[in-house]
Amino acid sequence: MLVSVSRSIDRISIPAILIVFMVVGCVDDPRDLATVNPPEGIMVRSEFVDLMAEIQILEGAAKIRVFRNDDVKKRLGEAYFKIFEKHSVSSEEFDKSHTWWWEHPVAMKGVLLEITEKISQIESEKKE
């Protein structure tokens, strides 16, 4: 009798424990939202997308060695500076924003899609 009661408790407690873990695991984490509002000092989504698109184009150019016979690191540094200057952003603000956006993975997934779309848009404008 004691053994059958113990087995019944085991059968009930295992699903109950799993349900508790699922409920606790589903607590809303603001980092899991698709739409987030960055705090002061962090670039807003549209500005971050525009800046990141230009950086991705720059890094792509560096990979295919557009900067031939030059000091690549120096040229990249100068190009980054120009991009930051164009967007009125310091490297510190960019680093802080970059970290913040990557700490919000669901929103960042959408940001990455927008960056890809922006790069495509820039490419089509250059072809015209």
- Helix-helix angle 72-86:45-63, to 10 degrees: 160
In a domain, 15, yes or no: no
The count of structural domains within the chain is 1
pLDDT digits (tens, 9 = 90+) for 60-113: 888 887 656 667 788 888 999 999 999 999 999 999 999 999 999 999 999 999
Q: What is the pLDDT of residue 126?
A: 85
Which residue type, as a one-letter code, is found at position 43?
M
Question: What is the residue range of 40's domain?
Answer: 30-127
**Residue 11 counted as domain residue:** no
What's the per-residue H, E or C state across 51-112? HHHHHHHHHHHHHCCCCCCCCHHHHHHHHHHHHHHHCCCCHHHHHHHHHHHHCCHHHHHHHH
Q: Residue 107: count other Cβ atoms within 10 Å of its Cβ.
A: 22
User: Does some domain include residue 94?
Assistant: yes
In a domain, 88, yes or no: yes
Give yes or no for residue 6 having a pLDDT over 60. no
Q: What is the mean pLDDT of residues 112-122?
A: 96
Residue 125, token pair as written in the block: 């404008």
Is 13 part of any domain? no
